[in-house]
């Protein structure tokens, strides 16, 4: 058996600068990705891999790294008009749990309360004919309409807006922030749809109006600063477009889901 002599690594004997103790405690906290802020420090997902591909579930886990109280606070603080920017105060970092489930809850609450309102109005129009054994009247197509309407408004519009602003070179926000802002902004419609069960036309219009005002104010107040950073003044006109779109969606909610009124003696109404 032959031995080959290799040169020994002499750096070890050179002194302390070759091998040193080093603290890695701080560097763990700083290793969170820059795009999603301080997600890594919350520590709900202990062994998240550092770099994941777009198609893996782990890639999206940072956007769901949130706890219950935070989601609730983000939801109800959209109802309170405030001077501070929602993006800066609450969406740090932005999450996707809240927007998605806000929109899904909105779909279901629109359907549930709309069918409740319709059955109440049937009962009120003719209390004698509508015995408890009758099946409640409801229009099932409303569920698919609600799905299409809410998801297209709540997800497609912010993505298109982000793409458009990106094309114009405006805005320093991520698409997740846009979707989160938009999704949380629709939260107000959930209590509005509950209140719209009250079978009076004036009350319903009032509640829909309040909902439109609150969420419209919220969206415009938070999006206008982004639009205002553009060099071209014409970009700010997008805000008017968004308000018109928002009014259209409010009108759609009112007309499609809450147009059942008790009518005396006329069952077809």
Nearer to other proteins, 33 or 67 (CB): 67
Q: What is the spatial distance between Cα 145 and Cα 149, in angstroms, rounded to a whole number?
A: 6
Chain Cα centroid distance, residue 158: 10
Nearer to other proteins, 212 or 258 (CB): 258
Binding of other proteins by 50 (CB under 8 A): no
Q: Taking CB under 8 A as the criterion, which residues in 128-157 touch other proteins?
A: 132-136, 138-141, 143-144
Binding of other proteins by 45 (CB under 8 A): yes
Q: Of these, 87, 91, 97, 196, which contacts other proteins (CB under 8 A)? A: 97
Minimum gap (Å) between residue 226 Cβ and other proteins: 27
CA distances in angstroms from 116 to 6, 72, 154, listed in the order given: 86, 26, 24
Nearer to other proteins, 35 or 43 (CB): 43
Nearer to other proteins, 94 or 223 (CB): 94
Minimum gap (Å) between residue 145 Cβ and other proteins: 11
Nearer to other proteins, 111 or 189 (CB): 111
Nearer to other proteins, 114 or 125 (CB): 114
**Span from 23-31, 32-40, 59-67, 243-251 in contact with other proteins (CB under 8 A):** 59-67
Contact of 183 with 154, CB cutoff 8 Å: yes
* Neighbour-count burial for 188-219, b at 16+ CB within 10 Å, e otherwise: bbbbbbebbbebeeeebeebbeebbebbbebb
CB count within 10 Å of CB 254 equals 19
Q: Taking CB under 8 A as the criterion, which residues in 196-255 touch other proteins?
A: none
| Angle, CA 94 vertex, CA 55 and CA 62 arms, to 5° | 40
Binding of other proteins by 261 (CB under 8 A): no
The site string for other proteins over 98-117 (x = CB under 8 A, - otherwise) reads ---x--xx--x--xx--x--
Minimum gap (Å) between residue 195 Cβ and other proteins: 18
> Could you list the residues that contact other proteins (CB under 8 A)?
44-45, 57, 60-61, 63-69, 71, 97, 101, 104-105, 108, 111-112, 115, 119, 132-136, 138-141, 143-144
């Amino acid at each position: 058996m032959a031995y080959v002599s290799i040169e020994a690594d002499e750096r070890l004997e050179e002194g302390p600068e070759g091998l040193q103790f080093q603290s890695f405690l701080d560097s763990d906290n700083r290793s969170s990705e820059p795009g999603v802020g301080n997600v890594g420090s919350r520590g709900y997902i202990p062994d998240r891999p550092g770099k994941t591909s777009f198609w893996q579930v782990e890639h999206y886990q940072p956007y769901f790294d949130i706890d219950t109280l935070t989601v609730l606070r983000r939801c109800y603080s959209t109802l309170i008009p405030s001077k501070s920017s929602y993006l800066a105060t609450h969406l740090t970092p932005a999450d996707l749990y809240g927007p998605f489930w806000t929109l899904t809850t909105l779909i279901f609450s629109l359907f549930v309360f709309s069918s409740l309102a319709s059955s109440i109005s049937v009962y009120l129009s003719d209390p004698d004919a509508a015995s408890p054994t009758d099946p409640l009247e409801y229009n099932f197509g409303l569920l698919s309409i609600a799905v299409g309407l809410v998801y297209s408004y709540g997800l497609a519009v912010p993505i298109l807006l982000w793409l458009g602003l990106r094309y114009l070179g405006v805005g320093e926000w991520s698409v997740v922030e846009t979707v989160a802002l938009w999704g949380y902004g629709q939260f107000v419609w959930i209590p509005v749809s509950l209140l719209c069960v009250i079978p009076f036309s004036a009350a319903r219009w009032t509640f829909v109006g309040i909902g439109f005002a609150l969420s419209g104010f919220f969206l415009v107040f938070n999006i206008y600063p982004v639009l205002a950073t553009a060099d071209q003044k014409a970009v700010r006109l997008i805000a008017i477009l968004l308000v018109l779109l928002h009014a259209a969606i409010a009108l759609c909610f009112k007309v499609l889901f809450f147009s059942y009124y008790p009518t005396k003696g006329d069952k077809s109404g």
